[in-house]
Amino acid sequence: MNQPSSPPPPQHSFGFPKPMPQNTMFFILLGGFILFMLFLSLQHTSINTRKLSWGEFRQELEADNIINVNVVGTSLSGKIKSSDLKDPTKTGIANFSAEIPLTALADQEIEKQIYTKLGKNYSASPVPDFLGTFMIISMIVSVGIVIVFIFMFRRTRDQILSGAGNGLLGFGRSPARRYNNNVNRPTTFEDVAGLDSIKNELLEIVDYLKDPQKYQRMGARVPKGTLLVGPPGTGKTLLGRAVAGEAGVPFFSINGSEFIQMFAGVGASRVRDLFHTAKEAAPAILFIDEIDAVGRHRGTGIGSGHDEREQTLNQILSEMDGFTPSESVMVMAATNRPDVLDPALLRPGRFDRHITVDRPTVKGREAIFKVHIRNIPLASDVDVNVLARRTVGFTGADIRNLVNEATLWATRNGKNEVEKADFDYAQDKVVMGLRREEVITPEERKKVAYHEAGHTVVGWFQPLSSPVHKVSIVPRGRSLGATYTLPEGDQIGLSAKQAHAQLTFAMGGRAAERLVFDELPAGVENDLKQATKLARRMVSSWGMSEKLGPVAFSVDETHPFLGREMNTNREFSEETARLIDEEICRFLLDADTLATQLLQEHRTLLDQLATALELEEEIDEPRLLQILGIPPFKTTNKKE
């Protein structure tokens, strides 16, 4: 029978056994010494001691019942015959104690009488010097504490001088986590999907870490630092671990915020410790996630240059300059805010290579779906390509969360396979939030149905709008309904006609409620915000206004506390600002007018769709085809 293996010993963040704290043994010895002294003091007190008054002691002395006496100051103690037992035939010996009154201290006859009665069984001892004993014990304890602190100080000093940087109580030790491929399952490029061009770029680093002499022989120098830039969740950290897994080298991971502490100099000490450990484990990869937490611009003009964050950044710059060409340590960092990083950190010689990790395309999302569903039983109605087309703008982390939510929902309903309906539920939950269990009045329900039907009809009969995929009046998150569009492909750019079509689609809900109920609704705030934001970018940033021409009127949105200039002036006059506002209003009014015209032309279909929404709550694309039919522009294209 196989014996269960014992659990592994606890590990430090770098994989080494934890040493016993330096002051543990000292406190153990100190506690034992105190207990020993208390034990000795308690030996002077006996449970069987009999208390005698001075008169009782004189009587017992006359009756020859006192066996011996020891006098210490004004206290008497000794042994006495148990003459007061109930059974006279039994005899015993007990301890006794008594106090000499002040009136009897000067009576020499009493001392002679005791000496005559007891002879050599009488003794006298001087009063013990408790204060002196206490002082000696205190000195011994103090000397011991001083010795322990001297030992700790010398050990800390030696570690700092040797470059380990532990610091007092370990504050200077880097909290980086080490992933060893011999213990953990290595992450390779097979686990990274949808980033083929980036993986090809990183293969050079992998090849260098596997055989550094190959490049050094030709005089080539591998980039010291590689900066991965991209939105959150696109796989920057996963790429770093994949490089370490492919190269088979240790991988040290730390977050930028872990360098900063409330104690001055701790961040710089942790940087020294991190780079020192990585050099000892070379070839290795040192990965700093969210480097913008410590690598922001220095000198905002508000604080001094001696704050903890700037000192930590200075130490990082110094350590990266300290690498020699023969040291096989690759520094990788990730951030989604490259605009706030200090220029000294981005210059060649530190982070030489900048790689953009953007959101995946349709093919990339399809590959990511295949990675996350490879161990999940799928039903036959699940089409991975459709899932990829429906998740425009999703990152790798979003897709992983979507697959997990679908699997949890299928498991909760007792299914053996994950079906298409489970992915639909998961996408609604991820995009719009949880379904709200609330009761709305029939009037409000009717208004929501017409609002979403207005978006759907306007989007359905516009050639340049994204096709409507699904419409729902189920309250989710902070909205009472939603209309989902499904682009036919990834849109890298946006033309002026497509932008105007998006404005018209956004105005469809407001136009429908005004057309049907003859009132302006208050629940269109989000639609108006999105439309106004898009119109402002069309006019001031993209040059889509014929009246203003191809000029960009954008305002510098740089935050002043990121190390840039405190005062940024607007690059256009007040008259131009008034014209920009007029053009934005014109774009929105034109979109509202066009949306109203489309709804008036298809008023019958609008009423039919709103009625169906009130009954069914959610309508997908096949059901929309039954109600609205095929748009005329698609029929024309099909005939051509």
Catalytic residues: 452
Nearest-10 crossing angle of helices 108-118, 54-62: 40
Using DSSP bridges, classify how beta strands 75-81 and 93-99 pair: parallel, antiparallel or unpaired.
antiparallel
How far apart are alpha carbons 351 and 621 in whole angstroms? 49
| H-type alpha helices, 494-524 | 496-517
Segment (H or E) for 161: helix 130-161
Tell me the Cα Rg of the chain. Answer: 42
Neighbours of 51 (CB within 10 A): 9
Return d(Cα 387, Cα 392) in angstroms, integer.
9
Cα distance between residue 622 and residue 612, in whole Å: 14
Q: What distance in Å separates the CA atoms of residue 380 and residue 521, rounded to the nearest whole number?
A: 44
User: In whole angstroms, how far apart are CA 265 and each of 154, 165, 172, 185, 250?
Assistant: 19, 11, 8, 36, 27
* Helix spans in 162-211 (H): 196-210
Residues in the chain, overall count: 640
Label residue 220 exposed, middle or buried (CB < 10 Å: 0-12, 13-18, 19+). Answer: exposed
Max CA pair span of the chain: 143
* Cα–Cα distance list, 90 to 82, 84, 392 (Å): 9, 10, 104
Alpha carbon 383 to its chain centroid, in Å, reads 35
Tell me if 149 sits within 8 A of 26, measured CB to CB.
no
Compute φ and ψ for 38, nearest 5 degrees: -65, -35
Q: Which structure tokens are listed for 4?
A: 């269960």
End-to-end distance of the chain based on CA atoms, in angstroms? 77
